[in-house]
Chain A
């Protein structure tokens, strides 16, 4: 069974750094793109970034480029999302997602349980 298990909720202050994680299991981690989706308090979903664990190729949404960094540890089947300087507007749920390997259909087929990040002074 494919599972994406994320790290727990975080409470941070503006300007602080943060790294959240997502551990994949039940499939060959290095062969599937894995990424992050933000869900704002109002419900809107936004794709942020993806990475291919096989060679660490990354792709960022223009909306998030330069503000977050995606990375992966192949030895531990874990993907990461990190911020160097959080803002209050980063308060949201963050979901880890796996892109399907089905030919010609590149949707997200599995989701992690979500990590709530709260940024408040």
Chain B
């Protein structure tokens, strides 16, 4: 089973700052990684797939990078609506998925 580890668990930042979130896979998943944003009381929303492709309607301040076992989600300039929990998801193996435990981005 592929284990996904996100860091940090909580990131405190101010509006306008840059935020960098990490996700590590226990084995290579090439670029088979997605990122989701979840706000309180809402379902997760797809941000990034294929490690670096933005989903439809996602602002350009969100970007993804990485391959193999190390991945990064960057929010270039935090907006008030970006304070939420972010999850990574690997889908490297056929019909098998694993989520990371999440990173909470909170207002400093």
Contact = CB atoms under 8 A, between A and B. Distances in A.
Interface of A: 33, 37, 43-47, 50, 59, 61, 95, 100, 102, 105-114
B36 to A, nearest CB: 8
Given A108-B34, A110-B46, A113-B43, 6 more contacts: A46-B99, A107-B34, A107-B46, A107-B49, A108-B89, A108-B97
Given A105-B50, A107-B34, A108-B34, A45 B45 contact: no
Nearest to A47: B97
A34 to B, nearest CB: 12
B60 interface: no
Interface residues of B, number: 22
Contacts of B50: 105
Nearest to B44: A111
Contacts of B53: 105
B85 A43 contact: yes
B86 to A, nearest CB: 11
B67 interface: no
A76 to B, nearest CB: 22
Contact of B101 (A44, A47, A61, A107): A44
